Structure 1
Amino acid sequence: MKMLANKQILKYFLTIFIFSTSIFLSFSQSNLLEKRISISAKNQKLETVLQLISQKTNFQLSYNSDIIPYDSLITISYQNKSAAKILNQLLGKKYYFVTSGKHLIILRIETPKKESKKQDISFEKTIEKIQINGCISDYRSKKAVENVSIVNLFSRNSTLSDSSGNYTMEIDVQNEFIGLSFSKENYIDTVILFKPDTSKIFDIQLLSKPEMIQKLPLKEINLFPQNNIEEYKLVKTIVRNDMISHSMNVKIFERSIGQFSFLPNFGTNRKLNGAYINHFSVNFFAGYSNGVEGMELGGVLNITKTKVSGFQACIGGNINGGAMRGVQLSGIINHNFASSKGFQATFGSNFCLDSVSGVQISGLFNVVKKEFKGFQFSGVNYAKINRGFQLGIVNLSDSSSGVSIGFLNIVKKGYYRFKLYADEMFFTNFSFCMGTNKLYNIFEISANPKTWAISYGFGSHFFHHRRISFAVDVTASQVNHNKLWESDTSFRGRISSEINVRINKQISIFGGANYTLFVSDTNNSELQNYITETAIFNVQNYAFSYATMFQFTKGFTLGVRYDL
């Protein structure tokens, strides 16, 4: 019974999968035809007008001269109209269009001889299947070209040429004409159109694109180098090599209303997943697409070559080769190779190899390779240029005009200062400050012959006027009197205000007042007496619950500061 139930469930999912394939492929459309142009012609041949449209839209037109009256004279005038509307009005309703990259193929709708109110695009088939094969070589060198993508422009079935340049493709005959595109990275695309009357051999010579002289950039050592998404190890592991080859070769970039995938190679968009921009995408295990404009949901991994605009969520991770605009959620990782704008959240880490504007929340790391504007919250935050607000245990940046709050704030081009000073309790206080003028961390150690303390705190340096500036520091200390370490309560909290007078570029003298609160156990009379003896002003004592003593006093600071 269980086996029968499992078979029924599998049959159910396969039915949905096949049904989804037919629906979503039928809704695919190319953005070539959406381009708006202005064109006018008077008493020009149709062939000339089509060439003019081709130039204006920057795509190549392909058609069979037997089905188009290319010698007929045309007069047209259109302003800011889509290419699809112009072609439909120019040619009429008897034609339809198929796109491949920058190629647009014009085909005629075949109607049956018998009159019918409904238009029928079918034709009388004489054979069901044909086989196409041949060899692909370089036009100049005549050497074989491997990993060339051969795509059936109607069914989107595809194959690759082997190491000898040979290819074979079996085609189901569904149309009066068949269009094949031959695409290879760094080569000019070639499209052929033929009647499927018999199996054929097509030997194709591809013309390489003109070589461009590239300027070699200065070598830069980066903690997070930017790579092509196809070179990312995790992508190579999940996505098959033939799909990566197709995605690098084929530049169709069609939009699909949606797609379903179990794996990158098992989905409604088949091997050409890397050529589709989806409005709605569901990846049960892992998926691979050119882009998302809408919503994408995933189980383990969502992989997108270019931009994501809308909502993207995955239990595992999201890896995007382009910009992210919207909301991105994951359980483990969000990794964007281009800029991000919006909201990112994960239990693991957020990585962006470009700039980020918005909110990043993670459990481990937030990493932004370039400029950051917005709010970062994580265990460790890094932004090369911080213009926002960082909240974490450790905050890192190369330069910062924003605010960072954390136990450790490190700014490469930031605030680094040493201070040596005396106050009413300790003759020797040595502190190290790091961060920015807006907010810096303070690490301090203080000592007297019988007493020592270790302190941590925050400070802000402001009101800069020529040689004079003002600072406020807040510190918390563990005070140890006549002991290596005081096990009982022995806390000092202090707020100090300082006026700094600059002597030269690196050295300043400073002084100011402070307000101090001591908290200790009521039975620690030795420490309480020491505080009273060293205080310059009167000490106010308050016992709380007969167990804790609070002591308030005022004091001073006077010292020298050295800026790195």
Structure 2
Amino acid sequence: MRTLKITFLFLFVFSSLIKAQSNLARSISLNIEQQKLSSVLAMIEEKGGFRFSYNSNILPVDSLVTIHENNLNIAETLDKLLNHRFEYRQSGNFVIIRYAPLELLLLVNESVGNPELYTITGQVVDKRSNKPIEDASIYEKNLLVSELSDGNGYFSMRLKNITQPISLTVSKENYKSTITHFLAEVNITNRKEGSAERFISGNLGDIEKTWLGNTLVTAQQKIQSINIGGFISKAPFQFSLIPGLNSHGSLSGQVVNKFSFNVVGAYSAGVDGGEIGLGFNINKSDVQYFQFAGGFNLVGGNVRGVQIAGFFNGVIGDVRAAQVALAYNRVGKGFEGFQVGGIYNHVNQDVKGIQLSLGLNTIGGTLKGWQTGALNLVNKETKGVQIGIGGNIVAGRTSGVQVGGIANINKESSGVNLAMLANLTGQTASGLQIGAINYAKKLKGVQLGILNVSGQNDGYSIGLVNIALKGYHKFSFGTNESTTYNVVYKGGSKRLYNMLMFGTNKKSAEKIYTGGLGFGKEMKVFRSVSLNPEISSQYVYQGSWDYLNLLNKFELPLNIRLNKWLAIQGGPSVNVYYTKQNNKIGEFGLLQEKHKDFAFNDPRYTGWLGWNVGLVIL
């Protein structure tokens, strides 16, 4: 290892406003007259080849500005546009604009020591008033050592194992930051991968606004977050007993660790490797690869990898991971991966993966994967598979498959809905509904159930009772060769309607009753004339329930409409009668005897040609 001895106890101390050395030093020319500040900043981004990051609630982006300048550097241009009330710091390809109308000074009282132990004491004061500044952050970003100034602005910092010149950064909310450099008697070595400062955009204070974050994060850590903002350092390791007692001190919320071990719990900027917390883990930005907590994980950014918690996982950003919690998982944005929650899973945006719980699954966006729970709620639409032991509720459109133990409730449906009890679609159902009860305001697909109800029926309803409130529903009263009195309800659509049929024959010595189901289709011939092919099957009661008697019919009645509410019908029929009763009872006995020449090889079957005639109430 190459070393260079610098023998000079204190070479110089200097302070300066933080100016980035590359992007901010570039010269540009602007000739702008009364344009929005946001548009002008976009022009500077294009000329400088970088991106701005700023809080639009503080920066007056809608204000109109005028500037005519040639060959000014970008920092000077921004000062003119923003009236010297902001500071600018560069990180990577970002220039961060931070509200800072005030200026501070670092007054060094003493700086003594050696590479093993170096001490710096001083005071932070307001540059204009010379008043002391309380709770200013003083930190060495390479050594990850920090202090907060006291009520009189004083601080004392102890630095150990120094291998590089010392750079102290002083930051305070609403003040422009300063950097003070020290060249002490140090051994400068070839450094391993250090903790170079970088910038993370976004609302990094969100995690501290949660109830748990506000309770468990210390006041000193919150102040550091406010003062330093999105400037984050990296470290290979963190050890923590509790959030306020750890290897990075009050600066822990500004450090992303490769690995973190936390006895009770910890607070950090994020994880870029692995984290184990016997109690809990709190991270204000991203976590990736692996995180385990005996109690809970609370993450303010995004999660990539595997996240396991004994109680719950709470993530404010996106999750692309396997996420497991015995109680519940809560994701503030989108989810892609595999999620298991014992009681509850909630994703605020879209899900592209699998959610499993014994209780409730809720999605604020669209489901494009698989979801299983006692109850599933989707706020937009589903394009995947949902299985709800109790049911599924979708506020938008379903185009996948839903299986509900009790019910499926949708706004619109173009997929498959299966339910033991009911499928309810508030608007248009153009897929398949299978359930005991099916409802759609407008049916363009297929309903299969005991009771099918639709407001407007342009599809197919197959069931015991089909009701189209604004569609096809008719009653017919007629007679035929086998039963004197017949009543039929026809409901559904012209494409396919269901028939609920009842008949009786009082001419027999013993009364005969018939009842059954059928299907038909209305085929228009002329304006007031239609042909209705119909097929049906009816049970024939002949005095005993011990025998199965079935009358199967194919009828071809012609309907002639007389006015808006009345039509006459009549036509031929083909009949096939099946019975196990040996005694020939009533009209059916006579029909069997009369048409015995038309009997099949099996004596239980008899066939004949018949007729029907009657009235239809429209």
TM-score w.r.t. the length of structure 1 is: 0.58
The Cα of 1:402 is off from its aligned counterpart by 0.7
Instruction: Give how far 1:419 is off.
Output: 1.3
Residue type at the aligned position of 1:321 = N
How large is the RMSD of aligned CA atoms in angstroms? 4.6
CA distance in 1, matches of 2:613, 2:383: 52
User: 2:509 aligned with 1:510, yes or no?
Assistant: no
- Tell me the equivalent position of 1:399: 456
Deviations 1:23-43 (A, max 9, x none): xxxxxxxxxxxxxxxxxx953
Identity across the alignment (%): 18
Q: Cα–Cα, structure 1 residues 470 and 294, in superposed 2: closer, same or farther, change >3 Å?
A: same
Matched residue type, 2:604: M
Counterpart Cα distance in 2 of 1:458 and 1:399: 21
Residue identity opposite 2:517 in structure 1 = G
Whole-angstrom distance in 1 between the partners of 2:480 and 2:520: 20
Letter in 2 for 1:177: N
CA displacement at 1:49 relative to structure 2: 6.2
SS at match of 2:483: coil
Assess if the C-alpha contact under 8 Å between 1:480 and 1:490 holds in 2.
yes
Rounded Cα–Cα distance in structure 1 between residues aligned with 2:368 and 2:616: 51
Q: Could you tell me how far apart the structure 1 residues matched to 2:456 and 2:536 are? A: 25
Structure 1 residue aligned with 2:609, among 543, 551, 554? 554
The equivalent residue for 2:399 is 341
How do 1:220-259 and structure 2 match up within 5 A? 256-257=303-304
Tell me, yes or no, if structure 1 residue 158 matches structure 2 residue 209.
yes
Correspondence for 1:416 = 473
For 1:488, what is the secondary structure of its paired residue?
Answer: coil
Q: CA deviation at 1:463?
A: 1.9
Distance 1:409 1:257, change over 3 A: farther
Q: Which amino acid counterpart does residue 76 of structure 2 have in structure 1?
A: D
Structure 1 residues 171 and 356: CA distance shift in structure 2, 3 A: farther
Which position in structure 1 is the counterpart of 2:423? 366
Tell me the SS of whatever aligns to 2:590: helix
**How many Å apart are 1:293 and its aligned residue?**
3.6
**Pairing partner for 2:408 from 350, 357, 381:** 350
Call closer, same or farther: CA 1:434–1:157 in 2, change over 3 Å: same
Residue 523 to residue 179, structure 1, CA distance change in 2 (3 Å)? same
Give the secondary-structure state (helix, strand or coil) at the position aligned to 2:431. strand
Give the drift of 1:316.
2.2
| Distance of 1:344 and 1:560 partners within structure 2 | 43
Give the stretch that moved more between structures: 321-330 or 378-387.
321-330
After superposition, residues 387-466 of structure 1 pair within 5 angstroms as 387-442=444-499, 443-450=501-508, 451-464=511-524, 465-466=526-527
Amino acid at match of 2:30: N
Question: Does the 8 Å CA contact 1:95/1:106 hold for their aligned counterparts?
Answer: no
Deviation string 1:85-127 (CA, Å, 9 cap, x unpaired) is xxxxx95617477xxxxxx9799xxxxxx9xxxx978864114
Distance in structure 2 (CA, Å) of the matches to 1:55 and 1:383: 56
Secondary structure in 1 matching 2:591: helix
Q: Which has the higher helix share?
A: 1
Q: Measure, in 2, the Cα distance between the counterparts of 1:448 and 1:260.
A: 76
TM-score of the two chains, using structure 2 as the length reference: 0.53
Distance 1:454 1:323, change over 3 A: same
Shift of residue 309, structure 1, vs aligned partner = 3.6
Is 1:477 matched with 2:527? no
SS at match of 1:177: helix
2:313 to 254, 267, 275: 267
Distance in structure 2 (CA, Å) of the matches to 1:386 and 1:171: 62
Contact 1:152 1:158 (8 Å CA) reproduced: no
CA distance in 1: counterparts of 2:147 and 2:426, whole angstroms: 60
Structure 2 Cα separation of the partners of residues 368 and 105 of structure 1: 51
**Which letter maps to 2:56?**
L
Secondary structure of 1:355's counterpart equals strand
CA distance in 2 between partners of 1:72 and 1:123 (Å): 34
Query: What is the CA-CA distance between 1:411 and the residue it aligns to?
Result: 1.7
Q: What's the offset of the Cα at 1:410?
A: 1.9
Seen in structure 2, the aligned counterparts of structure 1 residues 171 and 441 have a Cα distance that, compared at 3 Å, is farther
Distance 1:406 1:526, change over 3 A: closer
Match of 1:43 in 2: 30
Shift of 1:505: 1.1
* Separation in structure 1 between the aligned mates of residue 356 and residue 442 of structure 2, nearest angstrom: 32
Helix, strand or coil for the counterpart of 1:71? Answer: helix
1:58-85 deviations in whole A, cap 9, x for unaligned? 99537899xx9642379xxxxxxxxxxx
The aligned length equals 387
